[in-house]
Chain A
Amino acid sequence: MKFRAWLAIVAGILPLALIAIVAFLAIYSWPAMHFNGFGFVTRDTWRLGNLYANPVVVHGTQIPRGATYGILFLIVGTLLSTAIALLIALPLGVGAAIFLAEVVPDALRTWISFFVELLMAIPSVVFGLWGYVVVIPFLGQHLYPALAHTVGRVIPIFGEPSGSGYGLLTAGVVLSLMIVPIIAATLRDALVSQPSSLREAALGLGATRFEALWKVMLPGTRKTLIGATFLALGRALGETMAVLMVSGNALNILPHRIYDPISTMAAFIVSQLDSALQDPTGLAVRSLAEIAFVLAIISIIVNALARLLLLMWNSNQRSVMV
């Protein structure tokens, strides 16, 4: 066979792996999809049913008596924690990128950027450990009660009780740290590679250095920023271990206050597989596979969108590999 064709086939393992992941999860979770229907994403009750009674047959599927699988509370938890993470990470990342690109001298920039971007390299479970051991006691005993006393008087979702420290806001804070380097690194690169004639023109028209940056340089990187935000969004949606360790792993409840415990789709898969395995009909494990399938599809869409945006908008500029 020709060399190139042979290489193309070996290289094809990578696309094949992605297809296999989606296909296997879809096939395996098919009985669950059939049973759960569309209500899977609109119900907020995940109940395994009576695992010790004989299974009953509903719509042609064997299920434990009283079993329901709904993940609305997981979708809400995932979206809210991701939204909080982005709300914190965006200003923090943009600010850090501005300072790195505009103020820090060239010789230092590489190494300071590297130090901050090392956040990206720290394993998720280590973030979880840090959150569990030091952040939760600090937030739960000091910051959250103070927050509830002050901000909570004005905005009800910040009100009492401030909880134990495990919950939505903590998950969002830890997640934001994990995604902020994506935003900071991409935006810094985009700012540095902006033509300096732009800044010179703005300065020549009488703008201050900050105005030149804020009104001329930064708007030019808007598209890169949107792409990077999507990448960060994708990462936050699928983050597992850190969220698992700080979110409080709520089951079947929707958060009412920002301190309330939540769970996310990714974390729920880990925390529930052991109990799902007790289900003799296997429907619980298949329903977990359905969560994994939904998560896979969401993350594929978000990431594909991010890459397409970055590809279309700045085809000559390489985006940071995350």
Chain B
Amino acid sequence: MSAIAAAPRQIRLSRRIVSISGWALSGLCLAVLSVLMVWILSVVFVRGIGALNFKVLTTITQGSGGGLLNAIEGTLVLSGAALLLAVPFGVAAGIYSAEYRFSSWAITIRFLADVLVGVPSIVIGYFGYVALVQWLGWNFSLAAGAISLAIISLPYICRTTELALRQVSNDLRDAAYSLGANERRVIFGVCLPAALPSVLTGVLLALAVSVGETAPLLYTAGWSNFMWDGHLTHSPIAYLTYAIWTFINEPFASANALAYAAALLVTGFVLIINILARFVLERRRRRLRR
């Protein structure tokens, strides 16, 4: 009798060892990832803060020294222009694939958006080079760079808009229709405002992606040691990620310092946006659950 009662307690030693080492290994994996994450961040932040000063933020690049003002301005202009181009089309694609989600066009858009996310950014950059820089003859320019970035941001904006609209309750739509609103009023007057915080979060995340991109800009935006001259085409423009890539390879300490400062600015910006976005989404998720 007592043997039966005690049976659940008697787990063979080998099984216990396997269990314990399994948990330990999985914990080790997470620990390794966390340590690497901390390592990357600390390299970027420690070296970046050491290199960042007032002069870097307020002067333009000169040879292998100077500052990053031109690159900071260029990154903001490029990413801003890319957003201006991508938001209307991306949000429209998101609205269509959420509100008419069972139509074949919506399914196609959703699927192709997922595929477009996976197309390597260098491929999009080379397309920009072939189509915009060469074929249209725009040379290295803001327009060519911004369009390439816009193509990269499109699927992100589309999918986050779609997810945001899906969270809007159907009761809201029914109520609006029953009050006599047409499709356009229901979508733009009721659903989109209700989903706005999530949509904006998605737009911000897309902005973070384009600020961090390098490959699509190398052969579309070029590089310039000067501030943006206001031309859309035929004049190259600077951006921060180029500074990271080029200046870290140069033998001068002043150039390396610029690369670290640029890395800190880009990483800091991207992290802040991601953390902000997470807070917004987390708060909304909790509110919706309540």
A interface residues with partner B (beta carbon < 8 Å): 3-4, 7-8, 10-15, 17-18, 20-21, 24-25, 28, 91-96, 98-100, 102-103, 110, 112, 114-116, 118-119, 121-130, 132-134, 177, 180, 184, 206, 208-211, 213-214, 231, 234-235, 237-241, 244-245, 266, 269-270, 273, 288-289, 292, 295-296, 299-300, 302-304, 306-307, 311, 318, 321-322
Contacts and interface: CB of A to CB of B under 8 A. Distances in A.
Contacts, number: 261
B27 interface: yes
Contacts of B274: 118, 121
B231 interface: no
A99 B37 CA distance: 17
A99 B29 contact: yes
A215 to B, nearest CB: 11
B258 to A, nearest CB: 12
Interface stretch (B54-62, B64-72, B86-94, B169-177): B86-94
Interface of B: 8, 11, 15-16, 18-20, 22-23, 25-30, 32-34, 36-37, 39-40, 43-44, 47, 88-90, 92-93, 95-97, 100, 105, 108-109, 111-124, 126-127, 129-131, 135, 151, 154-156, 158-160, 163, 182-184, 208, 211-215, 218-219, 241, 244-245, 248, 259-260, 263, 266-267, 270-271, 274, 278, 282
Contact of B118 (A102, A126, A234): A234
B151 A21 contact: yes
Secondary structure type dominating chain A contacts: helix
Contacts of A18: 112, 115-116, 119
A25 B127 contact: yes
Contact of A321 (B33, B159, B211, B214): B159
Given A24-B131, A25-B127, A126-B44, A235 B214 contact: no
B8 A210 contact: no
A303 B212 contact: no
Contacts of A306: 118
Contact of A14 (B27, B43, B112, B118): B112
B120 A8 contact: no
A95 B28 contact: yes
Contact of B123 (A15, A114, A295): A295
B101 to A, nearest CB: 12
Contacts of B245: 125, 128, 241, 244-245
A239 B33 contact: no
